[in-house]
Structures are given as C-alpha cells and as structure tokens.
C-alpha cells in the first residue's frame, strides 16, 4: 500500500479515537454515495457530524485542513444529504474537519467544527 494511504488510515484511526474520547458515537466509516465519500459519520446526542479527516506527516506544504477543497466539501455535503434521507435523520447536522499531523513521534489533532456548510 502506498505511504499516503497508510498515513490516511493511521490518521483516520487517530480521529476515531479522538472522537470517541470526546463522547461521539461513530455511526459509519468511509460512507460512499456515487462519487462522494465521507470519512466518518459521528453522533453526539441529537447532533449528526460528517467528518472529513485530513492527515499529513509533513507540514512543508501547509496544514492538513488546508487540503479540503471546495469540490471535496460539496461532495461530502451531497453524500451527507443522501445519508440524512436514507436514515430519516430529523435533527441537527454539522460538517467538521479533523486534521491529524503525524510528524515523527509527535501526534497533533485539530478538530474544526462547522468547517463548511
């Protein structure tokens, strides 16, 4: 498996661990709808959170959260709309980014709530 795929998997695992520690329940991982994918779908009480996870091992080109493009955000929102209707979710929604930096032995997690909408 390519190094960037391993980094992504490790970052996603760290994001799951972080969200669980913060009291979220993970509802789905890698949810797909057509060409769109949502990394994590989490729930906390009556709030459903669609999470884009970005992981980097090197900050030379910028912080992980800076790599969520407008196009990616639109795709996440499209898949989220499908999930909401398919599961008849009638409560609040939020779109977050969990940015994971895995540099050497250092792990940093930045949770950005309401990252896009």
CA 8 to mean position of chain CA atoms: 11
Report if residue 75 sits inside a domain.
yes
Tell me how many degrees the CA angle 69-71-74 measures, rounded to the nearest 5.
110
**Which of these, 45, 53, 67, lies nearest to 17 by C-alpha position?**
53
Report if residue 11 sits inside a domain.
yes
Query: Torsions phi, psi of 55, nearest 5?
Result: -125, 140
Report if residue 117 sits inside a domain.
no
Domain hosting residue 100, numbered range = 3-112
Q: What is the pLDDT of residue 6?
A: 80
3-state secondary structure (DSSP) of residue 48 = strand
Report if residue 69 sits inside a domain.
yes
Q: What is the pLDDT of residue 5?
A: 67
Kindly report the average pLDDT of the chain as a whole number: 92
42-79 per-position pLDDT tens digit: 999 999 999 999 999 888 888 899 999 999 999 999 99
| CA Rg value for the chain | 14
What is the reported pTM? 0.92
Number of domains forming the structure of the chain: 1
């Amino acid at each position: 498996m390519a190094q960037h795929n391993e980094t992504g998997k490790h970052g996603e695992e760290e994001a799951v661990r972080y969200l669980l520690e913060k009291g979220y329940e993970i509802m789905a991982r890698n949810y797909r709808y057509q060409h769109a994918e949502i990394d994590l779908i989490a729930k906390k009480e009556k709030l459903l959170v669609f999470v884009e996870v970005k992981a980097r091992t090197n900050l030379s080109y910028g912080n992980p959260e800076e790599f969520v493009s407008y196009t990616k955000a639109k795709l996440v929102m499209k898949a989220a709309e499908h999930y909401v209707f398919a599961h008849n979710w009638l409560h609040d929604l939020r779109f977050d980014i969990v940015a994971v930096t895995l540099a050497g032995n250092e792990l940093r997690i930045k949770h950005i709530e309401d990252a896009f909408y």
